[in-house]
Chain A
Amino acid sequence: MTPNRPKIAVVTFLGSLDDHDAAWALAAMDAEPQLVWHAETELPKGTAAVVLPGGFSYGDYLRGGAIARFAPIMEAVTEFAAAGGLVLGICNGFQILCEAGLLPGVLIRNASLSFICRDVTLRVERTDTPFTSRCEQDQRLRIPIKHNYGNFTGSDELLVELEQKNQIVLRYHGENPNGSALNIAGVVNEAGNVMGMMPHPEHAVDPLLGSPDGAFILASLADAAREQSAALV
């Protein structure tokens, strides 16, 4: 509970794969990660941010994230987000946030119809979010993706709105790996406290893992969570 190590809840759904990696990476950012089981109905006391990790919750049956969004913990996450709480969804977590209506749009099958697992280059479009405060405008980040359903799409009106309201935070730079509309790799909600991204920052927080660039995202989140914690005390 010390404000120096903000408590960040990492939700484990049935089929989550990256919950432990996310927790490890957050700890490396001087946060205090806490794994929270999907069947819980409340977030731990003092939670300053929530991460929905990657994986294949419920086997991706129906659509990625479609079933996980009905997990008991999601009610608490939705309330937390509505109150302005910080929520980051990574990969499957992004899909869950879209299905839950906490983020706009939807992630459909990759244009190639194949599972893609490799490093991609991202461009940072905004640095005024709690998830990118440590980044520079237009900074390039090298972060891996690994997904089947990463192709962000929505109605034409929605896509126009996302541009107008400046909700696109991360775009694929150079090659678009999955056919995503407007090269979208990460978006925030209108209020800016909920972000979803397909690339996995938690798999890129150390040069030994191929790239340290994911730390820009997770350390930004830890900073913002630290401020939230300080405000809570």
Chain B
Amino acid sequence: MKATVHVRPKAGIKDPQGEAVRGSLAKSGFDIVSVRIGRVVDIELETADREKAQAELEQMSHDLLANPLVESYEIELLEES
């Protein structure tokens, strides 16, 4: 089963990377309000069981892929390919 985990800096947490990119885009002439930079993790799991996959993805996101203190995550289970 395939899944994508989206990791983002939580609201209110500083994001120096996003801030730098915002500045660069603004210099290029774009009207930018804000930029926040996260991470996309594509994962292929052995299991074909959606519930099991969901539980495993939840645990791995919480324990490793994101730091819940400063990052939020969103799990997207993809349809069987």
Contacts and interface: CB of A to CB of B under 8 A. Distances in A.
A106 interface: yes
Contact of B16 (A105, A110, A154, A155): A110
Interface string A138-162: 0000000000000101111010000
Given A106-B70, A108-B70, A109-B17, A156 B12 contact: yes
Contact of A153 (B14, B20, B64, B65): B14
A113 B70 contact: no
Contacts of A66: 64, 67
B33 interface: no
A153 B16 contact: no
B16 A151 contact: yes
A76 interface: no
Contact of A62 (B14, B16, B64, B70): B64
A126 interface: no
B14 A151 contact: yes
B: contact size bracket? 10 to 19
B18 to A, nearest CB: 10
B69 A106 contact: yes
Interface residues of A, number: 21
A158 B17 CA distance: 23
The prevalent SS among residues of A at the interface is loop
A99 B65 CA distance: 11
B65 to A, nearest CB: 7
Nearest to A66: B64
A193 B16 CA distance: 31
Given A153-B14, A155-B13, 19 more contacts: A63-B67, A67-B64, A70-B64, A99-B67, A105-B69, A106-B67, A108-B16, A108-B70, A109-B16, A111-B14, A111-B16, A113-B17, A113-B20, A151-B16, A153-B13, A154-B70, A156-B12, A158-B69, A179-B14
Interface of B: 12-14, 16-17, 20, 64-65, 67, 69-70
Interface of A: 62-63, 66-67, 70, 99, 105-106, 108-113, 151, 153-156, 158, 179
